[in-house]
Structure 1
Amino acid sequence: MELQAAVPKDWERVCILGPYSNDEAAMKTLGFNWPVEKHSSISYNDGIALLVFVRDRKVVKALEDPRRSGDFSDLSGRCFPRDKAQFVQQALPDDGWLRLVPRMEPDTSP
């Protein structure tokens, strides 16, 4: 999954907030105040992860992504630059969630 293609708006990085993230967690992750509790159900909904698209220290879009479609929650608190916002599904774990993890670039060093 390449988020650049999926979310064409003008953004520089995407930050991921997992279930039960609150305003304090959003500030720590984003690096600026944004009232996530006002704009999302993430603070009380464990069925989603929140993808927050940022440009110039401003939120340009926030998407509640159902975890059953692919679970970003293991990446909670992390941000990825637009050109690195590529994710793949990890093998199905015992708990039944389809994990999404960053796509690793092949090592081309000699």
Structure 2
Amino acid sequence: MPPVGSFSWLSMACVGTLAVTGTAHALIHAGGLAPLLTSAYGAALLAKLTAVAGMLGAAAGSHVYVRRLRSLTPPTQVIGLFVGAEFAFGAVALVLTAGLVKISG
């Protein structure tokens, strides 16, 4: 497997790990699931996690698409759509992170 492919899966695993540990931190900080689910912070966190899941989904789709067509030259338009979706979900996640900071601060 080429180094870029290995890095792609590694980077997705790192982002997934951050999402899981961040969720665990939020549960501990809120005092459990019920207080988290009924707060504005919990709603903003859920929105952010949804954006992160979309970003990971777009990254996984891009990886699978390129890997499936590695012996051919994949159309750049499709790769551009995956990268654009990944960027858009990432931008939404950053905006929602700012909202989380404002709510918790």
Normalising by the smaller structure, the TM-score range is under 0.3
Q: Given the two structures, how large is their TM-score scaled by the length of structure 2?
A: 0.23
The structure that has the greater radius of gyration is: 2
Bigger relative contact order, structure 1 or 2 (CA pairs below 8 A, ≥6 apart): 2
Q: Whose helix fraction is larger, Structure 1's or Structure 2's?
A: 2
Q: Whose strand fraction is larger, Structure 1's or Structure 2's?
A: 1
Q: Given the two structures, how large is their TM-score scaled by the length of structure 1?
A: 0.22
